[in-house]
C-alpha cells in the first residue's frame, strides 16, 4: 500500500485584534485555517513525528503574527503566514492559508459613529485563501460568502421546457433573492485590497439591482462580467447563487387577490446556480 496524498493543519483558529488610531478603534476578527504539505509521509506510515510541526504551534503562530502584522487588509496577513512557515520549516513544500472575517460596524450614538463601540455588521463573510509553494507557485483568491441580497421586482422566469412533471408557472414578475458566494483569483497585487474588494462587490450589485433578470443564470453572467471589468487585477471570478425562494401565498380561498405582496420564505429545496467567468 502507499500513501497517495497527505496534508494536515489547524482549523478554526479565532483571533480578534483592536486596531487603534488614537481614540478611534476598529475591530478585525478572523477565523484562520492552516494546512501544510511536505515531508510528512513517515508520520502517517512509520509513526515518526520528527518532522511534524505541532498544530498548536500553528495556532500560536497565527496569534503572534496577528499581533505583529495584522492590519486592515487580510491578504497581506495571509502572505505573511505562508512565508513564515516556508522559511521556518524546510520540510514544508506548500502552505494553504484561509482567513474568514466577521465584520463589525461602528455603533451610531446621537447620530455619530462611536469611537469604540460596535455591532455585528453585514451578513456576508469576506475571506481570502492562499496556496503558496516553496517553488514560488501561488494561487491566491479572495471573496465573500453568505451575502444575502434581494430584489422585490424586476425578475421573471419564462420560456423554459415543460413536461408532464412541470408545475412551475411562468412569471414576468417575481422576487429574486440569493445567498451569494463569490471568489476571485488575483493575477497581480492591487494597490489596495480593500478598495479592490469594494469595487468588485459594487460592480456586481449594479446589474443585480438595475437589470431585469430573465433568469439567475443571466444575472450571474452580468454580475461576473461587471466584476472583471471593475478590477483588472483579477483573472477570473466564480459565483454561486442558490435561490432563496419567496413563494406567493394563495389568498383566493379567502376571497382576496395577492398581487405579489405576501410570500412564504423558504430555502428548501432550492435551485443552485454556479459558474466561473474568466478573461479570454
**Max CA-CA distance within the chain?**
77
Q: Does residue 96 have an active-site annotation?
A: no
Q: Does residue 57 have an active-site annotation?
A: no
Count CA atoms within 13 Å of residue 262 on its CB side.
7
d(CA 55, CA 33): 10
All three cell numbers of 50, joined, read 520528527
d(CA 219, CA 241): 10
The catalytic position among 10, 28, 140, 197 is 10
Nearest CA among 228, 71, 238, 79 for reference residue 143? 238
Q: Does residue 270 have an active-site annotation?
A: no
The catalytic position among 25, 84, 133, 245 is 245
Nearest CA among 205, 166, 159, 161 for reference residue 182? 205
The catalytic position among 17, 25, 55, 125 is 55
The residues annotated as belonging to the active site are 10, 55, 245
Amino acid at each position: 500500500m502507499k500513501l497517495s496524498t497527505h496534508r494536515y493543519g489547524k482549523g478554526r483558529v479565532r483571533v480578534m485584534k483592536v486596531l487603534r488610531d488614537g481614540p478611534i478603534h476598529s475591530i478585525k476578527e478572523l477565523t484562520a485555517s492552516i494546512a501544510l504539505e511536505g515531508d510528512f509521509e513517515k508520520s502517517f506510515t512509520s509513526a515518526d513525528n520528527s518532522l511534524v510541526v505541532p498544530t498548536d504551534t500553528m495556532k500560536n503562530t497565527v496569534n503572534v503574527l496577528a499581533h505583529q502584522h495584522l492590519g486592515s487588509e487580510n491578504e497581506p496577513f495571509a502572505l505573511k503566514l505562508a512565508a513564515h512557515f516556508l522559511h521556518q520549516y524546510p520540510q514544508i513544500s506548500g502552505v494553504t492559508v484561509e482567513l474568514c472575517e466577521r465584520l463589525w460596524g461602528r455603533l451610531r450614538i446621537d447620530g455619530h459613529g462611536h469611537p469604540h463601540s460596535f455591532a455585528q455588521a453585514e451578513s456576508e463573510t469576506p475571506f481570502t485563501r492562499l496556496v503558496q509553494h516553496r517553488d514560488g507557485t501561488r494561487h491566491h483568491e479572495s471573496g465573500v460568502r453568505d451575502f444575502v441580497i434581494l430584489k422585490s421586482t424586476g425578475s421573471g422566469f419564462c420560456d423554459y421546457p415543460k413536461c408532464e412533471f412541470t408545475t412551475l408557472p411562468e412569471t414576468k414578475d417575481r422576487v429574486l433573492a440569493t445567498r451569494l458566494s463569490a471568489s476571485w483569483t488575483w493575477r497581480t497585487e492591487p494597490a489596495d485590497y480593500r478598495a479592490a474588494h469594494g469595487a468588485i462587490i459594487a460592480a456586481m450589485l449594479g446589474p443585480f439591482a438595475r437589470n431585469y433578470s430573465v433568469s439567475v443564470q443571466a444575472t450571474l453572467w452580468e454580475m461576473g462580467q461587471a466584476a472583471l471589468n471593475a478590477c483588472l487585477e483579477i483573472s477570473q471570478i466564480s459565483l454561486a447563487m442558490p435561490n432563496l425562494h419567496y413563494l406567493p401565498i394563495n389568498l383566493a380561498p379567502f376571497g382576496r387577490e395577492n398581487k405579489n405582496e405576501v410570500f412564504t420564505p423558504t430555502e428548501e429545496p432550492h435551485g443552485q446556480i454556479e459558474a466561473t467567468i474568466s478573461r479570454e
